[in-house]
Amino acid sequence: MSLFRSEEMALCQLFLQSEAAYACVSELGELGLAQFRDLNPFVNAFQRKFVNEVRRCDEMERKLRYLEKEIKKDGIPMLDSGENVEAPQPREMIDLEATFEKLENELREVNQNAEALKRNYLELTELKHILRKTQVFFDEREIHDVDESLTANLIEDQYVGTQMMNLAAKQGHLGFVAGVILRERIPPFERMLWRACRGNVFLRQAEIDTPLEDPTTSDQVYKSVFIIFFQGDQLKIRVKKICEGFRATLYPCPETPNDRREMAVGVMTRIEDLNTVLSQTQDHRHRVLVAAAKSIKIWFTKVRKIKAIYHTLNLFNLDVTQKCLIAECWVPVSDLEAIHLALRRGTERSGSSVPPILNRMETREVPPTYFRLNKFTKGFQMLIDAYGVGTYREANPAPYAIITFPFLFAVMFGDFGHGLIMTLFALWMVMNEKPLIAKKSTSEIWNIFFGGRYIILLMGFFSMYTGLIYNDFFSKSLNLFGSQWFVPQKSMYIFKEKDVMLDPKNAYANSPYPIGLDPVWQVADNKINFLNAYKMKVSIIIGVCHMIFGVMMSLWNHMFFRKKINILCDFVPQIIFMTFIFFYLVLLVFHKWVAYYATGDDEGLGPHCAPSILITFINMVLFKNGEKIGECEPYMYGGQQGFQKFLVVIAVLCIPWMLAGKPYLIYKYRQLQHQQFTNVSTAGLTEESDQVQMANGAAAPSGDHEENEKMEDIVIHQAIHTIEYVLGCVSNTASYLRLWALSLAHAQLSEVLWGMVLRLGLQSGSWFGGVFLFMIFAAWACLTLAILVLMEGLSAFLHTLRLHWVEFQNKFYQGAGYPFSPFSFDTILETAQNVEE
């Protein structure tokens, strides 16, 4: 019976030996059935007893995160065995700390070395490129020296500088600077040089084809080699400053070709040496990380468990002798045995001789609400909890919503085809449950769908059933059993008319189509008229039944809490009001279906005499008398007028009963109590009783509200309650008409989609028609999925949710509780992992 009402909870006091406390809490964390209360709410987080330990755990976690980051950077797979490691003993913490410290230091050192090496390597590669590229420039210069006379004739921009250089070289010292710069900085660099040196320098540049690795950020960057020729020391200083400003690295470049060649050879050998050293460092780093990757998940689990334990221990109170810790926790009564066992295990593990003491405490505080859920019921409970977590031990709507929710959804969504798509999707999710869970998707929308897979499955099943009843299959009907309507052979004359109404007298077989609507209505022009009458009535019938069910639930609640006064003054008038007016309406609907027929001999029961239920109902409430029109009786059965008046009078009388009954009874009861009290006190205990009263008042500030509530409050509360119920009955009944509206909208929309889209493809002939149909079908299928299944499904879902939250639950559900959140390693680890991702 766990899902029908929340678990019975007990507040327990726990005395733990200081040595055993850690092990016991660890066992309780594995069990996950105790919610600890903070016993020092006014103590700052930094002044608690185990702050140091928590801080150490934080530090360890930081190191682990660093390790994890490095492992991810190298793309090493982390072994996640999924096995549950127990929380380590407190003394193991030091070992763990030492391990992590060592690993972190090693890694940092390796990283530092690697960085230095990489920087070195980068410099050498850049130098190599400079030597290679500048060689080209110098070669060019020599060529120009040779055929200077030729180029003098063909003065082009590019060669002006070269010639200038050559001139300068002849005149004497022409200096140059070579370096490497980021490629995107070249244009501003060039502009700056030109402006600052007034065009007296000459810049040549060449792009390095392969990207180089930046050692600090390890990004791949594109760079260019440049060489600047200039004359004079002043320009040299200026050029160097500009280079510095643009973060270009300058490298010494020898002037003579021989030196350059020598240098290039030297650089190449050094690069090779560096490469071997670098690869060795990388190997070492890799080895360290691979070793760490094997157990990093386990380490995370361990550290998180230790931290959680110390956090919990911080909630405890220290007793005066400092020898034992006092804890208070909420525990499900049926699990007390398991808690005892866990505590005993913890004591044994810690080697303490004194067993922990678990005391059940008396309390007036409201316990948390706890349901034992499985993967199937979880989704439905979440729907209810989204409205409000149930008050402790009150009737839970979730077990009923398992069926009524998909059913009401399906009444609005009824289409066999759409239901089939939904079912298949949900079935796929349910079948592949385990691999899909293991994937741990972070997409929020997917997680919502996946979390509600069982809801969607049931919604799909019921949609298929209601689709069968509505006889809608992608807006087309199935003629499974043969229509009961036919066009009589003899009435060929009807084809002279444009359209024809089949007369129920001679075109209808004797009994209805066995399952659902007759397929003939799908092709009828007055389909909407017929469907409106049918769906409106069905939604009223379902709505009234649903609401009566809700009122019956309130009876169950009152009986459970032994509130006789509520049964007498709330439930009885409520159910009378509901049945005498609204259930009577339902009965009228059924009566009309049975009593009136088209083929009868009695003219009074013919189709034109059938009264409108709505008008009858309005007349009933307004005490209007119907009038006889022709031979038609205004009433559907004998004595209806008197009976209806009786019903309305009784129902109206229920309103003052609801309004005044409860306050009056409470008033009487209090008077009686007061009399007894004064009788006792006049017997000579006046002073003492005053004291007792004061003590009571002080001791139970948060006690039973009902006994302390003032009389005015009770009256006002009851008035609001009554008005809400009476008006609610009317408006809620009307609200259930959304079942009709949405199902009609859904059917119409799918019909329009068929008529406007798919029919185009079905109409065109020849081979071209096949190709066209192929494309049209794709469009139709996409629209069906996106609009009819997804969007309409969503809207029907929301309307169903409203019908449950408002129309159904306001009859009995308070939803004023708070959820039970036990100390459990599973949930802590799970949330930590989700935060990480």
Partner 1 sequence: MGAAILPVLVFTVLWGGVGIILPFLVPKGPNRGVLQVILMLTGACCWLFWLCCYMCQMNPLIGPIIQSHVALVMQQEWGGGPATNAQSA
Residues 45-64 that bind partner 1 (CB under 8 A): none
Q: Is 265 in the site for partner 1 (CB under 8 A)?
A: no
Closer residue to partner 1 in complex, CB, 508/823: 508
Q: How far apart are CA 483 and CA 507, in angstroms?
A: 11
Q: Is 598 in the site for partner 1 (CB under 8 A)?
A: yes
- Taking the complex as a whole, the smallest distance from the CB of residue 81 to partner 1 amounts, in Å, to 30
Q: Is 372 in the site for partner 1 (CB under 8 A)?
A: yes
Residues 633-672 within binding reach of partner 1 (CB under 8 A) = none
**Cα dihedral sign, 656-659-661-665:** negative
Q: Is 409 in the site for partner 1 (CB under 8 A)?
A: no
- Taking the complex as a whole, the smallest distance from the CB of residue 469 to partner 1 amounts, in Å, to 5
- Taking the complex as a whole, the smallest distance from the CB of residue 773 to partner 1 amounts, in Å, to 22
Closer residue to partner 1 in complex, CB, 22/454: 454
Question: Containing H/E element for 204?
Answer: strand 202-207
Q: Is 397 in the site for partner 1 (CB under 8 A)?
A: no
Alpha helices in 370-452 (DSSP H): 375-385, 398-413, 416-431, 433-439, 444-451
Which listed range, 256-264, 267-275, 541-549, 551-559, lies at the site for partner 1 (CB under 8 A)?
541-549
Side-chain-side CA neighbours of residue 355 (13 Å): 9
Q: How far apart are CA 125 and CA 208, in angstroms?
A: 10
- Taking the complex as a whole, the smallest distance from the CB of residue 525 to partner 1 amounts, in Å, to 4
Q: Which of 52, 111, 441, 599 binds partner 1 (CB under 8 A)?
A: 599
485: helix, coil or strand? Answer: strand
Tokens of 229: 């020729």
- State the DSSP string of 304-372: HHHHHHHHHHTTSEEPTTSSEEEEEEEEEGGGHHHHHHHHHHHHHHHT-SSPPEEEEE---SPPPB---
Q: How far apart are CA 225 and CA 207, in angstroms?
A: 6
Report phi then psi at 631, rounded to 5: -100, 5
- Taking the complex as a whole, the smallest distance from the CB of residue 464 to partner 1 amounts, in Å, to 11
Q: Is 508 in the site for partner 1 (CB under 8 A)?
A: yes
User: For residue 398, which of 29, 783, 809 has the smallest C-alpha distance?
Assistant: 809
**Residue count of the chain:** 837
Which listed range, 112-120, 189-197, 372-380, 802-810, lies at the site for partner 1 (CB under 8 A)?
372-380
Q: How far apart are CA 242 and CA 185, in angstroms?
A: 12
Q: Is 523 in the site for partner 1 (CB under 8 A)?
A: yes
Residues 733-792 within binding reach of partner 1 (CB under 8 A) = none
Alpha helices in 147-203 (DSSP H): 148-153, 157-171, 186-196
Q: Is 552 in the site for partner 1 (CB under 8 A)?
A: no
- Taking the complex as a whole, the smallest distance from the CB of residue 590 to partner 1 amounts, in Å, to 7
Q: Are 557 and 812 in contact (CB under 8 A)?
A: yes
Tokens of 546: 């649903």
Q: Which of 534, 583, 643, 772 binds partner 1 (CB under 8 A)?
A: 534
Q: Is 489 in the site for partner 1 (CB under 8 A)?
A: yes
Residues 3-22 within binding reach of partner 1 (CB under 8 A) = 3-4
Tokens of 300: 């995370």
Q: Is 594 in the site for partner 1 (CB under 8 A)?
A: yes
Q: Is 240 in the site for partner 1 (CB under 8 A)?
A: no
Residues 326-345 within binding reach of partner 1 (CB under 8 A) = none
- Taking the complex as a whole, the smallest distance from the CB of residue 802 to partner 1 amounts, in Å, to 19
Closer residue to partner 1 in complex, CB, 597/777: 597
Q: How far apart are CA 416 and CA 466, in angstroms?
A: 7
Q: Which of 51, 196, 336, 524 binds partner 1 (CB under 8 A)?
A: 524
Q: Is 374 in the site for partner 1 (CB under 8 A)?
A: yes
**8-state DSSP, 389:** P
Q: Which of 280, 526, 831, 834 binds partner 1 (CB under 8 A)?
A: 526
Q: Is 493 in the site for partner 1 (CB under 8 A)?
A: no
Q: Which of 503, 603, 688, 713 binds partner 1 (CB under 8 A)?
A: 503
Q: How far apart are CA 257 and CA 88, in angstroms?
A: 69
Q: Which of 11, 545, 575, 829 binds partner 1 (CB under 8 A)?
A: 545
- Taking the complex as a whole, the smallest distance from the CB of residue 546 to partner 1 amounts, in Å, to 10
Q: Are 792 and 2 in contact (CB under 8 A)?
A: no
Q: Which of 362, 525, 627, 687 binds partner 1 (CB under 8 A)?
A: 525
Q: Is 517 in the site for partner 1 (CB under 8 A)?
A: yes
Side-chain-side CA neighbours of residue 780 (13 Å): 22
497: helix, coil or strand? Answer: coil
- Taking the complex as a whole, the smallest distance from the CB of residue 523 to partner 1 amounts, in Å, to 5
- Taking the complex as a whole, the smallest distance from the CB of residue 511 to partner 1 amounts, in Å, to 3
Site size toward partner 1, by CB under 8 A: 78
C-alpha distances out from residue 613 to 73, 590, 616, 647, 688, Å: 74, 10, 5, 16, 68
Closer residue to partner 1 in complex, CB, 103/384: 384
Place of tokens 């801080």: 55
Closer residue to partner 1 in complex, CB, 268/480: 480
Question: Containing H/E element for 651?
Answer: helix 640-682
- Taking the complex as a whole, the smallest distance from the CB of residue 408 to partner 1 amounts, in Å, to 9
Closer residue to partner 1 in complex, CB, 254/504: 504
Q: How far apart are CA 717 and CA 723, in angstroms?
A: 10
Closer residue to partner 1 in complex, CB, 317/484: 484
The Cβ of residue 742 has, within 10 Å, a number of other Cβ atoms equal to: 22
Q: Are 326 and 316 in contact (CB under 8 A)?
A: yes
- Taking the complex as a whole, the smallest distance from the CB of residue 534 to partner 1 amounts, in Å, to 5
Q: Is 516 in the site for partner 1 (CB under 8 A)?
A: yes
Q: Which of 6, 125, 369, 377 binds partner 1 (CB under 8 A)?
A: 377
The contacts of residue 95 (CB under 8 Å, 6+ apart) are none
Residues 465-484 within binding reach of partner 1 (CB under 8 A) = 465-466, 469-470, 479, 482-484
CA 700 to chain centre: 40
Closer residue to partner 1 in complex, CB, 498/710: 498
Q: How far apart are CA 17 and CA 25, in angstroms?
A: 11
Q: Is 206 in the site for partner 1 (CB under 8 A)?
A: no
Q: Is 533 in the site for partner 1 (CB under 8 A)?
A: yes
Q: Which of 446, 486, 623, 818 binds partner 1 (CB under 8 A)?
A: 486
Closer residue to partner 1 in complex, CB, 121/407: 407
- 40 CB burial (10 A radius; 0-12, 13-18, 19+): middle
Residues 171-190 within binding reach of partner 1 (CB under 8 A) = none
Q: Is 604 in the site for partner 1 (CB under 8 A)?
A: no
Tokens of 365: 């505080």
- Taking the complex as a whole, the smallest distance from the CB of residue 630 to partner 1 amounts, in Å, to 17
609: helix, coil or strand? Answer: helix
- Taking the complex as a whole, the smallest distance from the CB of residue 378 to partner 1 amounts, in Å, to 12
Which listed range, 146-154, 492-500, 699-707, 779-787, lies at the site for partner 1 (CB under 8 A)?
492-500
Cβ density class 342-365: b for 16+ within 10 Å, e for less: bbebbbebbebeebbebeeeeeee
Which listed range, 125-133, 300-308, 496-504, 617-625, lies at the site for partner 1 (CB under 8 A)?
496-504
Which residues sit opposite 709 in a β-bridge? Answer: none
Q: Is 568 in the site for partner 1 (CB under 8 A)?
A: no
Q: Are 419 and 460 in contact (CB under 8 A)?
A: yes
Closer residue to partner 1 in complex, CB, 137/371: 371
Q: Are 626 and 619 in contact (CB under 8 A)?
A: yes
User: For residue 122, which of 6, 246, 219, 240 has the smallest C-alpha distance?
Assistant: 219
